[in-house]
Amino acid sequence: MLVLYSIVFICYIMKFILEEEDEISVNKLLKESKETFRAVILILISNSDLNQEKIAEILGITPKTVCKIKKRYMDEGLNSALNDKPRSLY
């Protein structure tokens, strides 16, 4: 996980612009891999001096999402933070 954190951090420092098609592909991969994305959020929260607003800005999400993942980890543990809660069938 430290490697993933390092990649995110290095990419943030070395700003560049993805081509539009590449950005769409990368965003699709991130959304398809919610567990990994949520793990990145937790790594950034626990291993950096960045506040929730800065983490949200880096990842292109809202501070509310960062707060929600952190709260779920603190209240219910890692499994709850990484995974969606079961949805009701009704």
Model confidence over 39-71: pLDDT tens digits? 889 999 998 888 999 999 888 899 999 999 999
Query: Apex CA 60: angle with CA 43 and CA 70, to 5°?
Result: 35
- The predicted model scores a pTM of 0.63
Closest CA to 63 of 47, 45, 81, 80: 45
- The pLDDT, as a whole number, for residue 23 is 80
Instruction: State in Å, rounded, how far the first CA of the chain is from the last one.
Output: 37
Handedness of CA 27, 46, 39, 2 (dihedral sign): positive
Q: Which residue has the tokens 């890692």?
A: 78
Q: Which DSSP symbol is given to 90?
A: -
- The pLDDT, as a whole number, for residue 13 is 54
Neighbours of 41 (CB within 10 A): 26
The larger pLDDT score, comparing residue 86 to residue 76, is at 76
